Amino acid sequence: MTPPRSRRGRPQHGRRGRRGPTRQPQGTSLVGQRFVVDVEDVAHGGHCVARHDGRVVFVRHTLPGEQVVVEVTSGTDRTSFLRADAVEVLRAAPQRREAPCPVAGPGGCGGCDWQHTDAAFGRELKARVVREQLRRLAGLDLPVTVEQVPGDEEGLRWRTRLELAVDDAGRAGLHPHRSHEVIPVEDCLIATPAVVGSGAVGSEGNRGVRALDVAATSTGEVVVTPRPSRDPAPVVHEQVALRGHTLDFALDATGFWQVHPGAARTLVTAVLDGLRPRQGELVTDLYAGVGLFAAELARRVGPTGQVVAVEGDRRAAEHAGDNLAGVPWAEAVHADVTRWVTEEPESLAQSDLVVLDPPRTGAGKDVLTALLAGRPRAVAYVACDPAALARDLVTAKTLGYQVDSLQAYDLFPMTHHVECVAVLTPTEGPPELEPLDPS
């Protein structure tokens, strides 16, 4: 399947923008060669590590401790590492199972990394990755447990938004791993029944379009948007049920929203529990999207407080403004975050709390330096990539901030993706607070 969409509604293929010239690999291609390897531990990215003739091999479709026959999918006799698929299992791990999806194996759909094990062991693999990234990149030895989130069926039927590719014959399908080819499918086992029942999955005759975006919202709307399209994206509505009340959001059907049914509530709750906002506090919400965190933070700080939500995507910022319109002390700002934090130092200097929800590449040194210069009492960093989080935590440490808590959530079961919420506080320690009002 296609990769998870970025925090701004674009597919996550790394940095945005046009790609530079493709470097041609040096040496003789090893693609297609087969050999036997003993698989070591899991690595970041949905594969495990093995070694062959002194070279690292990143192997998909395997598990730690297995012995497998691999087929090289990328690399030459001069590259420092190879990529490969496990095409035959000689010694299986006890956690291995038959993948429920018929197109999840080598050469099939590239969206799911761990269909050959259950969701519980998938969470353990993700926890290992987060721990290893924090240790290796940030020098932090932290306990990590990836928590299950309500809303899926043993790791299946959770994806409420799905991007389908369309081939030259007009058939809708999903991409293989690291490929632009299209595999026509009749079902996607991680998609919700509403998404599968939209008519887009397995459809034919989609002439003149490159992709179909399917969105099935918490309010019961199901929208299929062809791309490209001259028409603006339809507006859909989401609801997030919290303790005793519900938040309502409008957004573009092709815009970013968390795809797991339990994700939005889980992340808002984690941010609130970590920051413990008080009446009268000033909050800055960076990479704010359509206002998911800002809406509840504004309710918590009340009319004597202030929330500024900064978002770089114009349409998302417009929706954030509409979603926060009933709260005069909350403001949505359309601006590039990196530019805004350097041009608005006064606003940051006054912030008691900061929410940081950057794209997969992380916040970066410039943003962290600007926001931590104001010495907020706490920062909630919502991270969709543990490596980027680890690098940013190194920067935060040099600026006098420590990890007060870290939680990890399985918002993308059967894939290698994991969401973390790290709460950062000044090294000298957070101020003493009164007990939090549970309402």
Decide if 384 is catalytic.
yes
Residue whose entry in the numeric block shows the structure tokens 């049920």? 241
**Rounded Cα–Cα distance for residues 54 and 157 (Å):** 41
Residue 153 has phi, psi (to 5 degrees) of -115, 90
As a three-state string, the secondary structure of the chain is CCCCECCCCCECCCCCCCCCCCCCCCCCECCCCEEEEECCCEECCCEEEEEECCEEEEEECCCCCCEEEEEEEECECCCCEEEEEEEEEEECCCCCCCCCCCCCCCCCECCCCCCCCCHHHHHHHHHHHHHHHHHHHHCCCCCCCEECCECEECCECCECEEEEEECCCCCEEECECCCCCCEECCCCCCECHHHHCCCCCCCCCCCCCCEEEEEECCCCCEEEEEECCCCCCCEEEEEEECCCCEEEEEEECCCCCCCCCCHHHHHHHHHHHHHCCCCCCEEEEECCCCCHHHHHHHHHHCCCCEEEEEECCHHHHHHHHHHCCCCCCEEEEECCHHHHHHHCHHHHHCCCEEEECCCCCCCCHHHHHHHHCCCCCEEEEEECCHHHHHHHHHHHHHCCEEEEEEEEECCCCCCCCCEEEEEEEECCCCCCCCCCCCC
**Rounded Cα–Cα distance for residues 291 and 297 (Å):** 10
Q: Which of 112, 188, 384, 420 is catalytic?
A: 384
211 and 94 in contact (C-beta within 8 Å)?
Answer: no
142 and 134 in contact (C-beta within 8 Å)?
Answer: yes
Task: Give catalytic residues, as residue numbers.
Answer: 384
